[in-house]
Amino acid sequence: MNRRRFVESLCGGLGSVGLAAMLQERSEAAANTPAGPHFAPRAKHVIFLFMTGGPSHMDLLDPKPALLRYEGQRPESVDLRTERMTGGLLPSPFEFRRHGQSGIEVSELLPNLAGIVDDLCVIRSMYTFNPTHTPARNLIHSGNIAATRPSLGAWISYGLGTENRNLPGFVVLSPGARGGDLWRSGFLPAEHQGTHFNHAETDPEQMIRYLRNDVLGAGDQRRQLDLLQALNHDHRDRVGGDSYLDARIRAMETAYRMQFEALEVFDVRKEPARLRGDYGETPFANGCLLARRLVEQGVRYVHVYYGPGQPWDDHKEINRNLRERCPDMDQASAALIRDLKSRGLLDETLVVWGGEFGRTPVSEAGDGRDHNPYGFTMWMAGGGMRGGIAYGSTDEFGFQAVEDRVSIHDLHATILNQLGFDHERLTYRYAGRDFRLTDVHGTVLNELIA
């Protein structure tokens, strides 16, 4: 805007930006898309439901009746080194039953997920490389135990770019702001780092830093911005054009519009009451619902953390804790799958569920379970994965993955594959070599792809 347009806008009322301008912005954004996929993608978006702390597979999705037979014993095969001291085998008190066409066994703790089990691709043979939270969490987020590499979401943002320039391509929903170390861009350009929002809040103004101007209303702010842009254009005319100058002028406009777009998009209260009822109204439910709204608006990757801290880290009183924690997780996760499906979004959205590891079949402190990197369960849904399948298995007690073992790198390779990337070719040159999310590992799980 030049001075004349500024003066016109002062005379002509609100300089609001119309839908057409926003649409034009979006088509420009599409033209800026980076390298892009290597082959036709099955999925365009990922929602990762992260169960921080490591949920117990033996109580949820991997039934182990042998635990009861050997209760309290410690046969040689379970005498594995664990982070903490552990005792004998601890049976699960929860009943498992077969569900759906596929007949996959699911615990009574998860009635809603049991109802959609034919959409789930359950992997019972996951394993990881470190029994401690931080390194294991780094590994599942970035492919490496040290906190230095780019996060999965950053790789995806780097590979696919954003579909909507008014919103970040990589969104992190976490109640309580644990540091940005898990959603860092590492050596990838900083624009790919995850943008964190606190979904314990439902009011977007509470959720997004600096989203709201406490001093000026929208119209007044538009005037201030028009003045600023007039100064910026004068400056540009004086010193000569430059891409940085233009970029900041554009970013100012986007920021201004984002205030209103975000107010709309981030507000789950705008959903019909019945749908909110389906999800529930807990923070995690709001996160799942918000994830769907963001994906609809073109966000590439949404990482939803279940609760602050490490809620699934049940070193003691695990049975009581699971009874408290499972209902809303189960209800909201299942509602998300159903909701995506009914909107035709499940085909293009890959949903991934799991934690940094599982839990031990042997007890800790009598009624708890320790960290288990040797074997655990995750599930995926949509995004071109097969539904109604239970893949791989752990040993008879659920301690170690034994059949069709799947590493974190395999999981990453598969996620990238569904987005149209050959994980060996999605690279970034840094410190003298080409880095990959999967380093020198990773095999795509072709058997699990529809």
Q: Which of residues 256-285 bind other proteins (CB under 8 A)?
A: 256, 258-259
Side chain identity at residue 203, one-letter code:
D
CB of 131 vs other proteins, minimal distance in Å: 7
The 115-134 contact track toward other proteins, x by CB under 8 A, reads: ---------------xxx-x
Which of 20, 40, 190, 273: binder of other proteins (CB under 8 A)? 190
Q: Does 298 bind other proteins (CB under 8 A)?
A: no
CB 230, min distance to other proteins, A: 6
Nearer to other proteins, 30 or 251 (CB): 251
**403 Cβ partners below 8 Å, 6+ apart?**
125, 392, 393
Rule CB under 8 A: choose which of 252, 275, 345, 449 binds other proteins.
252
Give the DSSP letter of residue 435: E
Q: Which tokens hold the place of 323?
A: 């009874």
Q: How far is the CB of 215 from other proteins (least distance, A)?
A: 6
The number of beta carbons lying within 10 Å of the beta carbon of residue 15 is 18
d(CA 369, CA 317): 9
**Is the separation of the CB atoms in 398 and 89 below 8 Å?**
no
Give me the long-range contacts of 231-235 (CB less than 8 A, separation at least 24). 233/1, 233/2, 233/3, 234/3
Contact call for residue 32 and other proteins (CB under 8 A): no
> Which residue in the set 19, 20, 40, 239 belongs to the binding site for other proteins (CB under 8 A)?
239
Smallest gap from Cβ 252 to other proteins, in A, equals: 5
Closest to other proteins by CB, 108 or 242: 242
In this complex, which beta carbon is closest to other proteins, that of residue 232 or of residue 393?
A: 232
333 scored as a contact of other proteins (CB under 8 A): no
Identify residues 40-69 at the interface with other proteins (CB under 8 A): none
b/e per residue, 176-188, with b = 16+ CB within 10 A?
eebeeebbbbbeb
Q: Among residues 127 and 284, whose Cβ is nearest to other proteins?
A: 127
Residue 122 corresponds to which tokens in the numbers above?
């359950």
Question: Does residue 189 bind other proteins (CB under 8 A)?
Answer: yes
Whether 117 and 106 have beta carbons less than 8 Å apart is answered as yes
Looking at the Cβ atoms of 404 and 422, the one nearer to other proteins is 422
Q: What is the CA radius of gyration of the chain?
A: 24
Is 191 a binder of other proteins (CB under 8 A)? Answer: yes
**Does position 248 bind other proteins by CB under 8 A?**
yes
User: Interface residues for other proteins in 340-379 (CB under 8 A)?
Assistant: 364-365
Pick from 16, 33, 224, 342: which binds other proteins (CB under 8 A)? 224
Which residues, 309 to 328, sit near other proteins by CB under 8 A? 315-316
Does residue 12 bind other proteins (CB under 8 A)? no
Rounded Cα distance, 196 and 20, in Å = 29
Among the listed ranges 39-47, 108-116, 254-262, 404-412, the one in contact with other proteins (CB under 8 A) is: 254-262
Q: Which residues contact 145 (CB under 8 A, 6 or more apart)?
A: 129, 130, 135, 136, 138, 139
b/e sequence 262-277, b meaning 16+ C-beta within 10 Å:
bbebbbbeebeeeebe
Contact 199, 286 (CB under 8 A): yes
**Which residue number, 29 or 390, has a Cβ lying nearer to other proteins?**
29
Closest CB to other proteins among residues 321, 377 = 321
Cβ of 321: how many Cβ atoms within 10 Å?
18
Rule CB under 8 A: say whether 234 interacts with other proteins: yes
Q: Stretches 3-11, 298-306, 330-338, 408-416: which one binds other proteins (CB under 8 A)?
A: 3-11
Binding mask 199-218 for other proteins (x = CB under 8 A): ---------xxxxxxxxx--
| Least distance between other proteins and beta carbon 51 (Å) | 20
Q: How many beta carbons lie within 10 A of that of residue 282, not counting itself?
A: 18
Could you tell me the smallest distance in angstroms from the CB atom of residue 221 to other proteins?
A: 7
Q: Coil, strand, or helix at residue 38?
A: coil
Task: Say whether residue 14 binds other proteins (CB under 8 A).
Answer: no
Least distance from C-beta 315 to other proteins, angstroms?
7
Instruction: Check binding of 153 to other proteins (CB under 8 A).
Output: no
Cα(135)–Cα(145) distance, integer angstroms: 4
E strand residue ranges, 51-203: 96-99, 104-107, 120-127, 170-173, 195-197
Output the smallest distance, CB 41 to other proteins, in A: 26
Interface with other proteins, residue 232, by CB under 8 A:
yes
Q: CB nearer to other proteins: give 23 or 255.
A: 255
Question: Helix 243-265 crosses helix 218-239 at what angle (to 10 degrees)?
Answer: 170
Binding mask 381-400 for other proteins (x = CB under 8 A): --------------------
CB 39 within 8 A of CB 422: yes
Concatenating the DSSP letter of every residue in 339-350 gives HHHHTT-TTTEE
